[in-house]
Amino acid sequence: MNTLFFSLILLFQTLLFADTNGIYDIRGSSKLLDTNISQFLNKWRTDTITPVQNGTYKNIIVNGDTTKKIIALSFDDAPDENNTHKILDILKKHDVKASFFMIGSTMNDENTTAVKRCSDEGHLVLNHSFNHARFTNLNETEIVAQLELTSTRIQTLTGNYPLLFRPPYGSINSQVVDTINASGSTIILWSLDSLDWTLKDPYAVANNVISNVRNGDIILMHRNPTSVASLEMVIETLHSIGYTFTTVDKMLGLTAYKQ
């Protein structure tokens, strides 16, 4: 009897934990989402997360501690001199620190103030490629060049050489993962997609985030008008239900910058 009992417990634990290791599935949905995009997204999420959850892809971050009401907001595709500043204004007003994944080639003379301001105000300035290429189309030399050019440019502007990288489109395969790991960087994906890149309605974006949020989520947003318009709703509501915000390095105990 005892043996059966413990066998059942073991089986239960195996089913519950073994396949995910505390790594979430990626969430984010809306009734307004186009059917084709929805199907494409579901396939991408399964194809990307399954090898992370079962350990085939190493050293990839999807979410933080699932037992704490702590979440990380992340913003892709900065800098610009418009929406990036609006996001920074809202974060400042609510005393929230966030993680920005920036594109190297867009850091030109006109918008370097947004990069510096991000860093000066305590947010992370991280690597999101040099020209937003799909990394699964690149060879190893091209991948390394994208990483180094962007991190070097960020270091010139902020003093910090980032070691955390988010692949454009979340597009990865074994070669991309191995090359980035060998270069000393860590891939940061996300566990909750705000869908701000496809939904134009800020209320739908906020509702998606608020209704799908879990402990330890890394939330994907962008420097676009929809995210700007939804951000205050997201922050105020999540604060009101007990969540606190942090940056991805603190959430995961990672080193964001080369020492």
**Nearest residue (CB) to Zn ion, 77 versus 193:** 77
| Pair 233, 205: CB distance under 8 Å | no
Q: Which residue is nearest to Zn ion (CB)?
A: 76
DSSP state of 2: H
**Nearest residue (CB) to Zn ion, 169 versus 243:** 169
Token reading at 227:
């995210």
**Nearest residue (CB) to Zn ion, 76 versus 193:** 76
217 binds Zn ion (CB under 5 A): no
Q: Give least dist CB 222 to Zn ion, A.
A: 7
Annotated catalytic residues are 76, 222
What is the C-alpha to C-alpha distance for residues 107 and 227, in angstroms, rounded to an integer? 21
Q: Which of residues 160-189 bind Zn ion (CB under 5 A)?
A: 168
Token reading at 237:
């509501």
Q: Which of residues 59-88 bind Zn ion (CB under 5 A)?
A: 76-77
Token reading at 109:
């003379």
| Pair 257, 250: CB distance under 8 Å | no
Task: Tell me the three state secondary structure of residue 187.
Answer: strand
Q: Give least dist CB 147 to Zn ion, A.
A: 15
Residue 221 backbone phi and psi in degrees, to 5: -135, 175
**Nearest residue (CB) to Zn ion, 104 versus 168:** 168
Beta-carbon neighbour count of residue 203 at 10 Å?
13
Q: Give least dist CB 132 to Zn ion, A.
A: 6
Which residue ranges make up the site for Zn ion (CB under 5 A)? 76-77, 168
